[in-house]
Amino acid sequence: MKLVVGLGNPGRKYHGTRHNIGFAVIGRLVDRYGSGKVRVRNQGELTEANLDGVRVLLLCPQTYMNRSGSSVQPACDFYQIEPHDLLVICDDFNLQLGKIRFRRAGSAGGQKGLADTIQRMGSDAVPRLRIGIGPVPERWDPADFVLGRFSADDVELADEMVGRAADATVAWANEDIEHCMNQYNG
């Protein structure tokens, strides 16, 4: 069993924002591979999926971004998920729109939902898939940027990136993080 977590903020107000790109990837995976209905568990929306033969739980924490770990850590405990079988999907405004990047471990790089998850898990060895939403335009507050929506010019590229991230997540479930780093971090 593996757990894939998409980070974002709950509620209609945040639907479609750059910060909710993790939720968008989970939504794409649920549409393609979901089995069963969405359940509310561990302060999140949880769905089972079969990613090309691998049983996976898909989780969207409903705790707001900065408290994501309070959903992720109890889910890992309850389902006995080892850290290497966890993948956190989040936005990264330091990455160019259209880029995705896998990492096995490391700092949160300013992503507060990832930082809370790392802190609650007690280790920075939390595999993650960062999705580029940047760069932040000059003179923009990064918080306003991430909570904004993609421009009309960027919507198509963002949608393609969500699809590529969903495909990369399937590869992660069936291969390993090393394979994905080599395949997708170009």
Catalytic residue ranges: 19
Q: How far is CA 85 from the centre of its chain?
A: 14
Give the C-alpha separation, 22 to 25, whole Å. Answer: 5
* Alpha-carbon distance values, 161 to 77, 100, 103 (Å): 31, 8, 17
Give the C-alpha separation, 66 to 150, whole Å. Answer: 21
Q: What is the dihedral of CA 134, 137, 142, 146, to 10 degrees?
A: -50
Cis previous bond, 135, omega within 30: yes
Give the C-alpha separation, 160 to 137, whole Å. Answer: 22
Give the C-alpha separation, 151 to 158, whole Å. Answer: 10
Say how many C-beta atoms besides its own lie within 10 A of residue 143's C-beta. 11
